[in-house]
């Protein structure tokens, strides 16, 4: 196919095939019809017709998170392009590798307010790693190569390519480069041996250490090295919501998730530590709480691929710039060569304090309630799936319950919008994961408000026979909004009660799926087993839960990790 003259549309599709793209999530429109015609004439890439462009990007996102490969989406110009922005921003905040191709009006019409014209490059600029407007068909192939290179190297992220219609109709020789070099972009970094030495010295001096790992460990494929490093040191480890699964949640060294809704032991250990080793984490506000109160006694080591993240929010004592596996391996080698094993250090007193914090049982809830508790549903989901499912979540209370009660022992099994907090993410992300892993259990944990943001994708699921299991925790409220209004706004529930809900069982059935409504705690396990026994169909499980249940523990705005609200029944920390 190389060195053959062809239409720009065919060049684009052949370039995607050269990048080993399996699935192209998209929605057609006028200016991309030549591209869709080129898709029709080939069989290497499967196009997935979504029902909304936002879902195309979320599905590509779910594919990327669950595989580590870049997700790819294709949409038309104007509203097609603008509908992708929420999905692009979601991926950008969480550093997910994606390539989004938007159609554009004819080059000669750009700037003339042509039909379905929008400045996709300008609109997307704040929420992409990079973007391109291709005006020369001869540069189309190399631009696609650059886009994939930028999206997948360094700190990953979404890259947008805007392609005018005339570029898809013009002829050029197809030559796809094997490699690409960009003078303005060189993400290769060299590990600083002196900083490695300083980090090892500080690690060996620690009396109250904590390892704080984030999503960058998973994105950077550093899970193996993180586990080896953590077990070599015998240090406690806590993980951000985005980092869940990088270190086994069931391991005795794991303190669980930290931050606003983290465990008591994780947050108290962070507050009391003397050496903090941050790995692939960005110190975001939901993790740190009040910055002035964050880890007040700690010396901070920060390992990250992105120099802009180091000392951005929290002052770092020893920066370690590089890929997670490479830097961790250097630390492991240095610790082994030092002859002074940190794992042999006496951390008995520190672990004793941590065990005291653990004894608080901060995740306890009323197990004797006549109403279904959301925590119970997630616990039983974990048991029924044996912790092996891919879990995509929407955003809200159900997201936090899933992060707290589903024990992730493997990476890339937890797919959730962390940075942007995007309602509607769950179902299309689950679609992307199900395409990537057709023989695995894929679950969407959602709420009655979030699911309606992209509920039209039930149609896509039917078209492609995706056997996703939807676990909807239905409390009739915008749950997290209601919780904040209860705690901080005098129980003035302004616009957080969701009225006029559909019959979700009938709605699921109208799309051709299986619908179930569960209203009693005694029916939860049976419903889950019945739902997961149906292997070839989507099952929509509507769990009617206690509408008053809140997510605890909680670190309120302006508070430190040691100022947690544990629950109404337990005193605040």
| Catalytic residue annotation | 53, 115-116, 165, 480
Characterise 273 by phi-psi region: left (phi > 0), alpha (psi -120 to 50), beta (else).
beta
Side-by-side strand order, sheet with 299-304: 254-257, 237-239, 209-213, 275-279, 299-304, 318-321
Find where tokens 């996703």 sit.
468
SS (H, E, C) 52-102: CHHHHHHHHHHHHHHHCCCEEEEECCCHHHHCCHHHHHHHHHCCCCEEEEE
Maximum pairwise Cα distance, the chain = 73
Contact 261, 553 (CB under 8 A): yes
Decide the pairing of beta strands 71-75 and 98-104: parallel
Nearest to 299 by CA among 322, 338, 273, 323: 273
Joined together, the tokens standing for residue 128 give 């992409």
Joined together, the tokens standing for residue 63 give 């594919």
Instruction: Say how far apart CA 399 and CA 236 lie, in whole Å.
Output: 24
Instruction: Say how far apart CA 563 and CA 572 lie, in whole Å.
Output: 7
Contact 62, 440 (CB under 8 A): no
Find where tokens 């905040």 sit.
93
């Amino acid at each position: 196919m190389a060195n053959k003259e062809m239409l720009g549309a065919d060049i684009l599709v052949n370039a995607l095939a050269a990048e080993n793209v399996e699935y192209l999530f998209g929605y057609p429109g006028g200016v991309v019809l030549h591209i869709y015609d080129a898709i029709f004439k080939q069989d290497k890439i499967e196009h997935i017709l979504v029902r909304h462009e936002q879902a195309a990007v979320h599905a590509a996102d779910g594919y990327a998170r669950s595989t580590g490969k870049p997700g790819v989406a294709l949409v038309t110009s104007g509203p097609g392009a603008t509908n992708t922005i929420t999905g692009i921003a979601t991926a950008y905040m969480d550093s997910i590798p994606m390539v989004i191709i938007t159609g554009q009006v004819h080059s000669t019409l750009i700037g003339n307010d042509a039909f379905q014209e929008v400045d996709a490059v300008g609109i997307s600029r704040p929420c992409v790693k990079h973007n391109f407007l291709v005006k020369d068909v001869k540069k189309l192939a190399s631009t696609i190569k650059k886009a994939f290179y930028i999206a997948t190297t360094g700190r990953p992220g979404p890259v947008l390519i805007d392609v005018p219609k005339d570029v898809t109709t013009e002829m050029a020789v197809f030559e796809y480069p094997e490699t690409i070099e960009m003078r303005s972009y060189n993400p290769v970094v060299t590990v600083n041996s002196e900083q490695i030495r300083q980090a090892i010295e500080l690690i060996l001096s620690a009396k109250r250490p904590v390892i704080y790992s984030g999503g960058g460990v998973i994105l950077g494929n550093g899970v193996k090295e993180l586990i080896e490093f953590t077990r070599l040191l015998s240090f406690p480890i806590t993980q951000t919501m985005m980092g869940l699964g990088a270190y086994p949640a069931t391991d005795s060294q794991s303190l669980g998730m930290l931050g606003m809704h983290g465990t008591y032991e994780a947050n108290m250990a962070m507050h009391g530590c003397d050496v903090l080793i941050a790995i692939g984490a960005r110190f975001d506000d939901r993790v740190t709480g009040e910055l002035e109160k964050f880890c007040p006694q700690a010396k901070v080591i920060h390992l990250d691929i992105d120099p802009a993240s180091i000392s951005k929010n929290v002052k770092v004592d020893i920066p370690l710039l590089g890929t997670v596996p490479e830097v961790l391996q250097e630390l492991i080698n240095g610790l082994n060569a030092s002859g002074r094993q940190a794992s042999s250090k006496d951390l008995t007193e520190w672990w004793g304090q941590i065990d005291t914090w653990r004894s608080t049982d901060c995740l306890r809830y009323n197990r004797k309630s006549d109403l279904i508790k959301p925590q119970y549903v997630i616990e039983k989901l974990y048991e029924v799936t044996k912790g092996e499912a891919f879990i995509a979540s929407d955003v809200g209370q159900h997201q936090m319950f899933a992060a707290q009660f589903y024990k992730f022992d493997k990476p890339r099994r937890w797919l959730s919008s962390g940075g942007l907090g995007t309602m509607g993410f769950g179902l299309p992300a689950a679609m992307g994961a199900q395409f990537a892993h057709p023989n695995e259990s894929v679950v969407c944990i959602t709420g009655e408000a979030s699911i309606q943001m992209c509920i039209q994708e039930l149609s896509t699921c039917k078209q492609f026979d995706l056997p996703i299991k939807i676990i909807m925790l239905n409390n009739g409220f915008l749950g997290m909004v209601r919780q904040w209004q209860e705690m901080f706004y005098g129980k003035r529930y302004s616009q957080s009660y969701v009225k006029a809900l559909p019959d979700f069982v009938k709605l699921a059935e109208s799309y051709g799926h299986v619908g179930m409504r569960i209203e009693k705690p005694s029916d939860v396990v049976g419903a889950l087993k019945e739902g997961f026994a149906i292997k070839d169909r989507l099952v929509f499980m509507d769990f009617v839960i206690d509408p008053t249940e809140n997510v605890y523990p909680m670190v309120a705005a302006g508070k430190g990790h040691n100022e947690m609200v544990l629950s109404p029944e337990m005193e605040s920390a």
